[in-house]
Chain A
């Protein structure tokens, strides 16, 4: 191989190698090309040599955003689960005021970003309004439709009933199999009793939806923000308008 040819080969190979290093992709069990500990320095990759001498740590990058840049959501620390970083993360809180699915502004338009829009008129909430003693309902307040609007897809399929999930003594809470009680915001602990694989992935970031930003604190939506616990399958709906493509370019 002549020196010229060798030079040409390197010109071809080098970008791919750099790209490989930059994207941190790995083959089989090899160590990642850019693998750094939580606080180790990250070499800046990319074509801009000007920033190559800047040493930045991963935690710098994670937290280096102006406070208030991201929209805030009410969130609670997640119990008993860790994110992919081994660090705690938060689950979006579902309050009665923010009963509807969260909405965000895109340009001038505000869009709903979750699967479920919780009815803003949760007339029978809180549960203790009627269920004021263990398993006792005040007959005078019993609404005509009681809970007949609640689908029973999931309990029927799973062979359970109301009490499988709702605590017997305190219906405002969810009852776990080990006797623990959790509020509705921590429903993931209840779901994890059977759907442990999904909840593991949810904690790591492979399932579910992160809110707000890729940087800063990690807030994710809870299980019931997308899945109706009584009928968890997502329902079909009409999509946003199709692109107007000429027949020849329909797949472009």
Chain B
């Protein structure tokens, strides 16, 4: 006579034979890790709490716990709304614990009916680099290694050769006989960087912006090798931003705090543009060389430029379809 226990065992054997666990018992790798690390974290905490010699303050313990929890969260695109809210809460609290700054991290999605496009007037740009300054401040770029998303190239009149252009000019501009051409991430419609990412940490959003989940990036830098425009930047060290200069208006996919060993890039200021504002570079440009707008709006300024000006894109033969055009008066 088989006992209840034996019946259960038979049931289990059948499942193993079918190579399938019952749905309620199926455990994926991530959940398993979460349980494991969760137990570990709780154990660590318990040990720390019991130890009279522990110097850890309440805040340090909270920070450690949050950091553990952050390690085992899911990919941003797979998160449910609650999971997103949870991670935002944790990240905002972590920012407070680490730097003392009250930040707000948005998860604003792409607006329907919007594809962002950018046009850059090479006859108007005078090389002042105001865009660069605004970008650094807006996007919390690392001050220690002087990360800059935008490069302004000083080019000789009549020569279209980026190999012999100078991005490090430091004299009064505009210089006689030169023009200026700015590059940044072109938010390609056919982005090679996205194709090569082995973990899916970078992808194209519905409004055309290619973003990075900094908590999913493994730092392999394949995307940097794949990008024909050198648009991506790597954090060899943890980025440093002076506390008083931190921009507290942040986006999960944009200018929130990055960490050591991850890739970052221009996002057309996703935290601004999804609210209808201009990217910082376009707003800061003193000469109006930068035109930004919705490509799907046939009456937008960007569409007028595309329809009425001679435009070109860099390395068009690669078929990356940049959403960034150059034009001249």
Q: Are A61 and B297 in contact, CB atoms less than 8 angstroms apart? A: yes
Q: Are B204 and A46 in contact, CB atoms less than 8 angstroms apart? A: yes
B296 at the interface (CB under 8 A from A): yes
Q: Are A212 and B277 in contact, CB atoms less than 8 angstroms apart? A: yes
Q: Are A24 and B169 in contact, CB atoms less than 8 angstroms apart? A: no
CB neighbours of A244 from chain B (8 A)? 145-146
Q: Are A214 and B296 in contact, CB atoms less than 8 angstroms apart? A: no
A209, A243, A251: the one contacting B288 at CB < 8 Å is: A209
CB neighbours of A85 from chain B (8 A)? 299-300
Question: Could you mark each residue 17-55 of chain A with 1 if its beta carbon is under 8 Å from any beta carbon of chain B, else 0?
Answer: 011101111100000101111100010111110010010
B140 at the interface (CB under 8 A from A): yes
A80 at the interface (CB under 8 A from B): no
Q: Are B134 and A44 in contact, CB atoms less than 8 angstroms apart? A: no
A230 at the interface (CB under 8 A from B): no
B133, B146, B292, B323: the one contacting A214 at CB < 8 Å is: B292
CB neighbours of B132 from chain A (8 A)? 240, 243
Distance from A187 Cβ to chain B, minimum over Cβ atoms (Å): 16
Distance from B123 Cβ to chain A, minimum over Cβ atoms (Å): 10
Query: Do A115 and B287 contact each other (CB < 8 Å), given the known contacts A84-B299, A214-B276, A238-B172?
Result: yes
Q: Are A204 and B304 in contact, CB atoms less than 8 angstroms apart? A: yes
Chain A CB within 10 A, most for which of B133, B278, B298, B303: B298
**In the bound complex, CA of A208 to CA of B146 (Å):** 30
Distance from A206 Cβ to chain B, minimum over Cβ atoms (Å): 5
CB neighbours of A108 from chain B (8 A)? 137, 244-247
Q: Are B137 and A86 in contact, CB atoms less than 8 angstroms apart? A: no
Q: Are B277 and A206 in contact, CB atoms less than 8 angstroms apart? A: no
B75 at the interface (CB under 8 A from A): no
Question: Could you mark each residue 290-322 of chain B with 1 if its beta carbon is under 8 Å from any beta carbon of chain A, else 0?
Answer: 011111111111111111110000000001010
**In the bound complex, CA of A48 to CA of B278 (Å):** 23
Which of B20-28, B30-38, B60-68, B112-120 lies on the face that meets chain A? B112-120
B273 at the interface (CB under 8 A from A): yes
B206 at the interface (CB under 8 A from A): yes
Q: Are B299 and A113 in contact, CB atoms less than 8 angstroms apart? A: no
Q: Are B296 and A106 in contact, CB atoms less than 8 angstroms apart? A: no
Q: Are B321 and A19 in contact, CB atoms less than 8 angstroms apart? A: yes
B113, B162, B173: the one contacting A58 at CB < 8 Å is: B113
CB neighbours of B122 from chain A (8 A)? none
A60 at the interface (CB under 8 A from B): yes
Q: Which of A198-223 contact B (CB under 8 A)?
A: 201, 204-216, 221
Write the chain A residue with the least CB distance to B297.
A58
CB neighbours of B275 from chain A (8 A)? 65-66, 69, 213
B235 at the interface (CB under 8 A from A): no
Question: Could you mark each residue 95-115 of chain A with 1 if its beta carbon is under 8 Å from any beta carbon of chain B, else 0?
Answer: 000000000101111011111
**In the bound complex, CA of A52 to CA of B112 (Å):** 8
Question: Could you mark each residue 67-110 of chain A with 1 if its beta carbon is under 8 Å from any beta carbon of chain B, else 0?
Answer: 00110000000000001111100000000000000001011110
Q: Are B296 and A213 in contact, CB atoms less than 8 angstroms apart? A: no
A252 at the interface (CB under 8 A from B): yes
Distance from A12 Cβ to chain B, minimum over Cβ atoms (Å): 9
CB neighbours of A210 from chain B (8 A)? 278, 288, 291, 301
B95 at the interface (CB under 8 A from A): no
Q: Which residues of A contact B (CB under 8 A)?
A: 15-16, 18-20, 22-26, 32, 34-38, 42, 44-48, 51, 54, 56-58, 60-62, 64-66, 69-70, 83-87, 104, 106-109, 111-115, 201, 204-216, 221, 226, 234, 236-245, 250-252
18 contacts across the A-B interface (CB closer than 8 A): A16-B190, A24-B298, A25-B306, A47-B204, A56-B112, A66-B275, A84-B300, A106-B133, A107-B138, A113-B285, A115-B287, A206-B309, A207-B329, A236-B175, A243-B132, A243-B167, A245-B168, A252-B151
Q: Which residues of B contact A (CB under 8 A)?
A: 110-115, 117, 121, 124, 126-130, 132-135, 137-140, 145-146, 148, 151-153, 162-163, 165-170, 172-175, 189-190, 203-208, 230, 244-247, 273, 275-278, 280, 283-288, 291-309, 319, 321, 323, 327, 329
